[in-house]
A and B are shown apart, each in its own frame.
Chain A
């Protein structure tokens, strides 16, 4: 067994230390209380923090649950590379699930209406994967500061059969006494990062030197401008309108969804410290780059009711 002799240094602020301890507590609670938990690994920055926390929570044992990635077939290439690199480096069990039937039926981010696309490729795929493996608890990286509908979310968020979230029937959540009780067919979503903000995530990534997908950092990338957003030409499937031509710009991403639906921002922030500086000075919230959310402000609530995590 490794016996580290490193003197614990004050490398975390009191605030980040409190958030870390709270998240570790939540992760252990999941493993102690549920029969078959899974970690929803989207490979984004929040998932990267979750992976790191899971390694801490069970040390020296490895995280005692598999990691599930819902792939749409339109994932950034760099994200898939990072995912496989992490799985190899940390030896966790990686499960990948996609809605193959929808893909075969021709569902794609260009022709399918965006709401319908994300329902089929994300929500449906997730529900199917959870049912297929019989997971009773799914750990996700959602945060309460992301969006108004998330602000009322519980840390242990109960879903009735069919993965439905009913905001009016949420269980009161008291102290740190999470209620894990499930009736048959019911499942739990658990959000260990509930009380983290976007800035907390970044400062923690910096303090702990957590590896992230390079797309979060500025680089020269070919993009086209559409409906006010910069869309990366991540592979040859990008359909160009007549006269439309990708131009190379220095950009980065604040969130990573399907590449044809995720807007980049122009930025010079080439490392994590610069991202933090930019974030502190920035005047827009992170979901701005997501076309999926732009249309309806309350769209997250609707997605959650349908079973999106």
Chain B
């Protein structure tokens, strides 16, 4: 189809036009009811497909932990091995939509390897739902999860106080958990923090307001997820990692990539870090026609007025607000490899679209996720989080992660086995 025969927005497409999409992460300790909660959200918001319900009721009989009715958790545990052991071993992605928003849920397990899996799930999320069991209240795991969520730059948190049916829907019990969590989380600086009493198993306050919790005046979980305002990267300074040079013939030379933050308009001058040269944007090309401007998230192709030497790995930026360029950086890294980190070992560092050789030169200290304290330590073990110093063989361009998630995040790769060793966040 050629671009000029396209249809206007069809009626049916408005489904989630209003507020777009929310990507969130769920975390909790084993048996807090995380799987049940997600299963419930999917089933209640969209209606479970009949053949899935049939498979589910068969599964509930074979593997289920609920004596009656459907075990919503079985909707989620995908792999055979896990189902037999009754545990979730990895990050799984789930989807549901309402008239207001489309949702992508990263479901991460609460037991061993939780740091690695949680960090993976959190890296793509804009909000986190932390589960606690109303009978147990805050546990060590809850604090760890909150710390990691904060470290990963997630600004919005929901504390889902689950299983309120088992504490007689007690307001006092809920308020105590809410108070303890607010006190703990205050230094983590979340932009929004909402506690909701609910029962995943029975559906109270998940999608439907519960009559058994008359003292609670706030939104149901689903309503909150549908309406919580999420900031976008559109406000930040312009950043554009050059992904691919588009040169089909001698007449056209464009630089393809995704706007990482901010906005670019035709006529803007941008600076190529590295060379420090600037160029004026002449066209913003897409298959659907040229755009006058492109904001964060848009995948476009830029054409410049001036001849400029650029390639994959270059970062284009706003000349009035430039990123850091250097061969040394301090960063928090989450160690994901099976063996401990080895200062001096050669890694590949992938940041934006650039990949360079890099070594960890020093482990400065290690983050104790239980106390949120940094303790002096020289070793970084699997699932550990440390502040390190890194040296690269060629200059890298970045922003501090707290300023810009898109240009401050990197991964470390084992150059031989190819494994992803660590997730990193520039300090």
> Does A298 touch B at the CB level, under 8 Å?
yes
A149 surroundings in chain B (CB, below 8 A): 78-79
Q: Which residue of A lies closest to B4 (CB)?
A: A6
- Which residues in chain A, 1-15, are within 8 Å of chain B measured between CB atoms? 1, 3-15
> Does A100 touch B at the CB level, under 8 Å?
no
- Which residues in chain B, 65-102, are within 8 Å of chain A measured between CB atoms? 76-81, 83, 89-95, 97, 101-102
Contacts A31-B244, A273-B10 given; indicate if A21 touches B120 (C-beta within 8 A): no
> Does B385 touch A at the CB level, under 8 Å?
no
The smallest C-beta distance from A32 to any residue of chain B, in angstroms, reads 5
Contacts A6-B289, A209-B1, A288-B51 given; indicate if A181 touches B13 (C-beta within 8 A): no
Please determine whether B119 and A28 come into contact, CB atoms closer than 8 angstroms: no
> Does A203 touch B at the CB level, under 8 Å?
yes
> Does A255 touch B at the CB level, under 8 Å?
no
Q: Which residue of A lies closest to B122 (CB)?
A: A174
Chain B at the A interface: SS class: mixed
From B15, B247, B297, B299, residue with most partner A Cβ within 10 Å: B299
- Which residues in chain B, 1-46, are within 8 Å of chain A measured between CB atoms? 1, 3-10, 12-21
> Does A236 touch B at the CB level, under 8 Å?
no
B93 surroundings in chain A (CB, below 8 A): 144, 151-152, 194-195
Cα distance, A186 to B414, chains bound together (Å) = 15
Contacts A11-B9, A16-B13 given; indicate if A174 touches B119 (C-beta within 8 A): yes
Cα distance, A50 to B42, chains bound together (Å) = 27
Please determine whether B418 and A297 come into contact, CB atoms closer than 8 angstroms: no
Contacts A59-B285, A60-B252, A301-B79 given; indicate if A208 touches B16 (C-beta within 8 A): no
Cα distance, A288 to B104, chains bound together (Å) = 23
Cα distance, A282 to B48, chains bound together (Å) = 10
> Does B319 touch A at the CB level, under 8 Å?
no
Contacts A151-B92, A151-B93, A175-B124 given; indicate if A7 touches B50 (C-beta within 8 A): no
> Does B378 touch A at the CB level, under 8 Å?
no
A-B contacts counted at CB < 8 A amount to: 237
Q: Which residue of B lies closest to A143 (CB)?
A: B95
Contacts A25-B299, A151-B92 given; indicate if A13 touches B123 (C-beta within 8 A): no
Please determine whether A12 and B13 come into contact, CB atoms closer than 8 angstroms: yes
A152 contact from B21, B90, B254, Cβ within 8 A: B90
Interface size class of B (residues with CB under 8 A): 35 or more
> Does A211 touch B at the CB level, under 8 Å?
yes
B229 surroundings in chain A (CB, below 8 A): none
Cα distance, A182 to B256, chains bound together (Å) = 24
Please determine whether A1 and B411 come into contact, CB atoms closer than 8 angstroms: no
Q: Which residue of B lies closest to A149 (CB)?
A: B78
Task: Report 25 cross-chain contacts, Cβ distance below 8 Å, ordered by A residue.
Answer: A1-B251, A13-B15, A14-B20, A18-B20, A18-B21, A21-B297, A21-B298, A21-B299, A28-B256, A52-B1, A56-B286, A58-B246, A145-B95, A148-B78, A172-B116, A175-B123, A175-B409, A179-B420, A183-B418, A203-B15, A207-B6, A283-B49, A284-B50, A284-B51, A301-B78
B binding-site residues for A, Cβ under 8 Å: 1, 3-10, 12-21, 47-52, 55, 59, 76-81, 83, 89-95, 97, 101-102, 104, 116-117, 119-120, 123-124, 243-244, 246-249, 251-252, 254, 256-258, 285-291, 297-299, 301, 312, 336, 348, 350-351, 353, 405-406, 409-411, 413-420, 423
A binding-site residues for B, Cβ under 8 Å: 1, 3-18, 20-22, 24-25, 28-29, 31-32, 52, 55-62, 144-145, 147-152, 158, 167-168, 170-177, 179, 181-183, 186, 194-195, 197, 199-200, 203, 206-211, 273, 276-277, 280, 282-285, 288, 297-298, 301
